Amino acid sequence: MEEVHGGMQAYGGISVVNALPSWYGSAMAVDMKVNVRVREGKRNVQDLLLNEILNYFERQGIPELEVEVESEIPPGSGLKSSSAVSNALIGEIAERFSLNVDIPKLSAILSLKAGVSFTGALDDAVASWCGGVSFTYNKEFKVIKRERAPRDVTVVILERSGKGKIDLGKLRAFRALFQEIFAIALQGRLWEAMKLNGIAIAEILGFPTDLVEEALRKGALASGLSGNGPSYFAVTREGDEGPVIEAFEKRGKVRVTRVVDLVRGN
């Protein structure tokens, strides 16, 4: 019998700045967990991304692995499920076999290779693995900055899964706008950046913004579409979330959660 152990954890996240338009991205970790365990045995995964990761490690001489994924993040949601699953799997393998790996970077490279991401989504991978707020330049797999998460806020999420087709060309036409929004985020004006990004991405991709406007009227610090959708988020001061939750609950399944502060160095 093999030793049973707890597995490796990574987190979901919400967008500060979507990296598709300018390659500059920023994301904030939220307390939605993924846990992955592996043990030696017959490969049991069908998923493209997980297979890409297992193939990579088998090429490095790691034996065939059976994988168990537990996830609180709906897949294809805009809530960074793919980064969390790939980080946790890579992290689990690295720990099990004592490998020295830059986990979010490898996660980004392999998600690009598997075709589940447009830019590699290093912004999402860094927030998902390290916690806090990430700032990255995905074109060069470069981490610009990692910051502690803001304190005393509540995150309200309208959980939706199932992505539509994304018009990358349309998003890329707004490069200059999103580069400015990224600069605003880097200056520490996080809520402003999240709000501008979340509204602009929704408008460009053709998602309604009435829920966002309602959340902002009801006191949210920021609200918008997360990632490329279809989930929406709102961030409020702790204690002010009631009216926003009420507005979100009229639209579907709501999760109320917290931000995750920096939990790991790398």
Ligand X SMILES: O=C(O)C1=C[C@@H](OP(=O)(O)O)[C@@H](O)[C@H](O)C1
Ligand Y SMILES: Nc1ncnc2c1ncn2[C@@H]1O[C@H](COP(=O)(O)OP(=O)(O)O)[C@@H](O)[C@H]1O
Structure tokens at 187: 């200056």
Of the ranges 74-82, 187-195, 196-204, 245-253, which one interacts with ligand Y (CB under 6 A)? 74-82
What part of residues 147-206 is at the interface with ligand X (CB under 6 A)?
none
Q: What gap in Å lies between CA 52 and CA 109, rounded to an integer?
A: 10
Task: Return the range that interacts with ligand X (CB under 6 A); candidates 17-25, 144-152, 180-188, 242-250.
Answer: 17-25
| Angle formed at CA 28 by CA 27 and CA 34, multiple of 5 degrees | 100
Of 124, 123, 153, the closest CA to residue 235 belongs to: 153
Min separation Cβ 59 and ligand X, Å = 24
- Tokens (6 digits) for 130: 């390290």
User: Is residue 42 within 8 Å of residue 58, measured between CB atoms?
Assistant: no
| 121 scored as a contact of ligand X (CB under 6 A) | yes
Residues 6+ positions from 223 with CB-CB distance below 8 Å: 194, 195, 198, 211, 212, 215, 216, 232, 233, 234, 235, 244
Tokens of 43: 């490969």
227 binds ligand Y (CB under 6 A): yes
- Contact status: 12 vs ligand X (CB under 6 A): no
Binding residue for ligand X, selected from 12, 18, 94, 155, defined by CB under 6 A: 18
Contact flag: residue 164 with ligand Y (CB under 6 A): no
49 sits near ligand Y (criterion: CB under 6 A): yes
228 part of the interface to ligand X, by CB under 6 A: yes
Euclidean distance between the first and the last CA atom of the chain, given in angstroms as a whole number? 32
Work out which of 31, 47, 95, 240 binds ligand Y, going by CB under 6 A. 47
Q: Is 21 in the site for ligand X (CB under 6 A)?
A: no
Instruction: Tell whether residue 79 is among the known ligand binding residues.
Output: yes
What are the backbone angles phi and psi of residue 158, rounded to the nearest 5°? -90, 105
Contact between 118 and ligand X by CB under 6 A: the answer reads yes
Interface with ligand Y, residue 71, by CB under 6 A = yes
Give me the helices (H) in the chain, please. 48-59, 81-96, 103-114, 122-130, 168-172, 175-186, 190-205, 210-217, 242-249
Among 40, 60, 68, 75, binds ligand Y (CB under 6 A): 75
Closest CA relative to residue 129, chosen from 34, 15, 197 = 34
227 counts as binding ligand X under rule CB under 6 A: yes
Give yes or no for residue 19 binding ligand X (CB under 6 A).
yes
Collapsing DSSP states into helix, strand and coil, what is residue 121? coil
**Residue 74 assigned ligand-binding role:** yes
Under the binding rule (CB under 6 A), the answer on residue 80 touching ligand X is yes
Q: Count residues near ligand Y (CB under 6 A).
A: 19
Binding residues: 74-84
Binding residue positions for ATP? 74-84
Binding footprint of ligand X on the chain (CB under 6 A): 15, 18-20, 25, 78, 80, 117-121, 123-124, 227-228
